[in-house]
Amino acid sequence: MNLNQITITSTNIKKAVEFYSILGLKLIVDAMPRYVRFECPDGDATFSIHETEITTQNNNVTIYFEDDNLDELVSRLIKKGFSFTRLLEDKSWLWREAHLKDYDGNTIILYKAGKNRKNPPWRIKN
């Protein structure tokens, strides 16, 4: 089994497209104002957004995007006016992360984990 895509909702698809395009995703399906789909610059996963009239403040959505050049990406986004809720920091679980919110309040975590994403030292042995 492989994860194909994640779909989130947005009250403003146009603003969401702007946000995720600046973040680095490539728009591949444009059915605005109801639906859009992006492909990630690395790998095969896709990310889509479906229009909704209402989103909740605490929608419990957290989206992780890994980037090998994390520090450079965060620096570039700050220069483009993005506000981060947490700046870059090294975590005890061996990831480097920065946190921000999209236009609809979804938590976005930009991170770099490398081999520790799927193979941390504490991984269960089979």
Tell me the two tokens of residue 118: 């799927």
Q: Provide the edge-to-edge strand list for the sheet that holds 26-31.
A: 5-10, 46-51, 35-39, 26-31
C-beta of residue 95 within 8 angstroms of C-beta of residue 68: no
- Has residue 59 got a pLDDT over 70? no
Structural domains of the chain in order of their starting residue, each with its CATH number: 5-117 (3.10.180.10)
Q: Which residue has the higher pLDDT, 61 or 46?
A: 46
Work out the pLDDT band at 57, boundaries 50, 70, 90: low
Query: What does 43-81 look like in DSSP terms, one character per residue?
Result: SS-EEEEEE-S---TT---EEEEE-TTHHHHHHHHHHTT
